Chain A
Amino acid sequence: MTTMEENAGPVVDPTVDFNIFDPEFVRDPYPTMNEIRESQCPIAHSNRWGGSWFPTRYEDVVSIAQEHDIFTSRDIVVVPRSTTQAEGPYAGVAAPPITSDPPDHHWHRRLILPVFAPQAVAKYEQGTRDLCNRLIDGFIDKGEADAGTDYAQQIPVRVIATLLGVPTDMSDEFTSWVRGVLEIGLTDPKVRLESRMKILQFFQTQLADRRKNPREHDLITDLLNSGDKYPVTDQYVLGVCNLMLVAGIDTTWSAIGSSLWHLAQHPEHRRQLRDNPDLWPTAIEELLRAYSPVTMARIVDRDTEFQGCPMKAGDRILMSFPAANRDPRQFENPDEVIFDREHNRHVAFGSGIHRCAGSNLARLELRVALQVWLERIPEYSLVDPSAVTWAGGQVHGPRICRVRF
């Protein structure tokens, strides 16, 4: 049950039959999430895609995130992994710390958190601003552009490549590999495996290069050299690089894209940001809440009953942060974007020990991308709202989004 054909078919009742890859859900998942959340079964279950649970209430999603002992991170996507045989030498490479559980999780995370602390990511601000301006230089005279492919898609991949010290001119390849793992690959195991192998082979070469030619102020060199503090292996470093590429690109790209899509349709929100720049920090959090891109998965460690649901060892749970962030029990008028929202306890970056390690970098990229866009293109609108295409499943955001200015 891992291909599109096996899992297609109309959804009759989403509480027992939801399909996160259904085209309608991919385009606009919120009505289905709201329907499940307000039903008798706010934790839905579906047998599609190998079977998974789908909690939709804020309290339930946060509880599952906090109970990392029962709800483990052995697997974090909805589709089963490829076999050990198919992956050959890379079979044991995970994506630490996102795929780690305690006790190893502690040092896996400690080692990379300093790279992403607010004061550490601040040094990428000017470069990101310059990059955004260059991208806009490329299309501003045309009066029309694709806010997805010409802009949002181009930003995080270059920031992450810079952070990892790998060539930014390989951005198109990185993007295609990451889509192969997280977007197309989620419904096509062959593409997923091929893309994963390309990523790991690429970083294997980078590791070998850093061993031969260590660099100063270089993340991969520093990780390889941290063996004096922690039991670091090549497999661990390979896994971290894998995570940074896979988790750092189409997530932030989706957040930038959704926000530009929203602003294209809301001149009053563009005006609000122009008239009151002090709103930027809370506006960014509000956009992250309303258009949270990421849904993570967990694996149930042992048979347990959670909120009346009989969960078995090995069951998959989809932790829908987008659904949690639109729960009216937690947020007033959750489907409205309110830039000065007083209470916004959103979990777009998750909650508990697996809080997105790159959240501060993602926030910076999102803010700079939107600020530069609105400085250069203060007024714009969608060319054709019905022609916008979306990626969905576990990372939700627009892909083709043509705008006119």
Chain B
Amino acid sequence: MRVRVDADACQGQQMCSIAAPEVFGSDELGHATVLIPGDLPAELHGKVRRAQANCPEDAVIIEE
């Protein structure tokens, strides 16, 4: 599993970093960044799915 953020859709809600702080951070505007490029360890998959489900802007994109 890999994850990315759609920068055009992200509005800095921070719901992803609340759900998965190991995976998502913030840039200087408070918009989401991905802290782990490439494959995500299996133990974080659940949190990343929660991050995707909780983003009101549909900005979290999971690739499997």
CA distance A119 to B13 in the complex (A): 14
Instruction: State which residues 317-362 of A face B: CB under 8 Å.
Output: 342-347, 349, 351-353, 355, 359-360
Contact call A118/B54, Cβ cutoff below 8 A: no
Contact of B55 among A118, A342, A345, A360 (CB under 8 A): A345
Give B57's nearest chain A residue, CB to CB. A351
Q: Which residues of B contact A377 (CB under 8 A)?
A: none
Instruction: Take A113-B30, A118-B26 as given contacts and tell me if A349 and B57 are in contact as well, using a CB distance cutoff of 8 Å.
Output: no
Interface membership of B53, Cβ < 8 A: yes
Residues 256 to 282 of chain A near chain B (Cβ within 8 Å):
281-282
Complex contact B30–A116 (CB within 8 A): yes
Q: Closest CB-CB distance, B28 to chain A, in whole Å?
A: 5
Q: A360 touching B30 by the CB < 8 A rule?
A: yes
At the interface, yes or no: A138 with Cβ under 8 Å from chain B? no
B50 at the binding interface (Cβ < 8 Å):
yes
Residue contact A345 to B11, C-beta cutoff 8 Å: no
- Across the interface, which residues of B come within 8 angstroms of A349, CB to CB? 13
Interface centre among B13, B30, B56 (most CB of A within 10 A): B56
Bound state CA distance, A349 and B14, in angstroms?
A: 11
Q: A117-B28, A117-B30, A119-B26 are in contact. Are A352 and B57 (CB under 8 A)?
A: yes
Cβ-defined contact, A282 with B13, below 8 A: no
Q: Are A351 and B26 in contact (CB under 8 A)?
A: no
Query: Does any Cβ of B come within 8 Å of A62's Cβ?
Result: yes
Flag if B12 contacts A113 (CB, 8 Å): yes
Q: Which residues of chain B in 8-37 are interfacial with respect to chain A, using CB atoms and an 8 Å cutoff?
A: 11-15, 17-18, 26-30
Do B54 and A344 touch across chains, with their CB atoms under 8 A apart?
yes
* Bound-state Cα–Cα, A79 to B28, Å: 36
Number of A residues with CB within 8 Å of any CB on chain B: 26
Q: Given A113, A345, A359, which contacts B54 in the complex, CB threshold below 8 Å?
A: A345
Partner of B18, one of A282, A343, A355: A282
Contact A343 B30 (CB under 8 A): no
Q: Which residues of B contact A365 (CB under 8 A)?
A: none
CB-contact partner of B11 in A110, A346, A352, A363, under 8 A: A352
Bound Cα distance A363, B27 (Å): 18
A118-B30, A344-B54 known; A359-B13 Cβ under 8 A? yes
CA–CA, A349 and B57, complex, Å: 12
CA distance A118 to B30 in the complex (A): 6
CA distance A342 to B50 in the complex (A): 7
B28: chain A residues at CB < 8 Å are: 114, 117
CB-CB under 8 A from A363, the residues of chain B are 14
A103 CA / B44 CA spacing, docked (Å)? 39
Q: List chain A residues, Cβ under 8 A from B57.
A: 351-352
Judge whether B56 and A343 touch: CB under 8 Å: no
A95-130: CB near B (< 8 Å → 1, else 0) gives: 000000000000000100110111110000000000
Complex Cα spacing A349 to B55, Å: 12
13 A-B Cβ contacts within 8 A? Answer: A117-B12, A117-B26, A117-B27, A281-B18, A285-B18, A342-B53, A345-B15, A351-B13, A351-B57, A352-B11, A355-B11, A355-B13, A359-B14
Chain A interfacial positions (CB closer than 8 Å to B): 62, 110, 113-114, 116-120, 281-282, 285, 342-347, 349, 351-353, 355, 359-360, 363
Report which B residues bind A (CB closer than 8 A): 11-15, 17-18, 26-30, 50, 53-57
Question: Besides the contacts A347-B56, A359-B13, what 10 more A-B pairs have beta carbons closer than 8 Å?
Answer: A62-B56, A117-B26, A117-B27, A117-B30, A285-B18, A351-B56, A352-B11, A355-B11, A359-B14, A360-B30
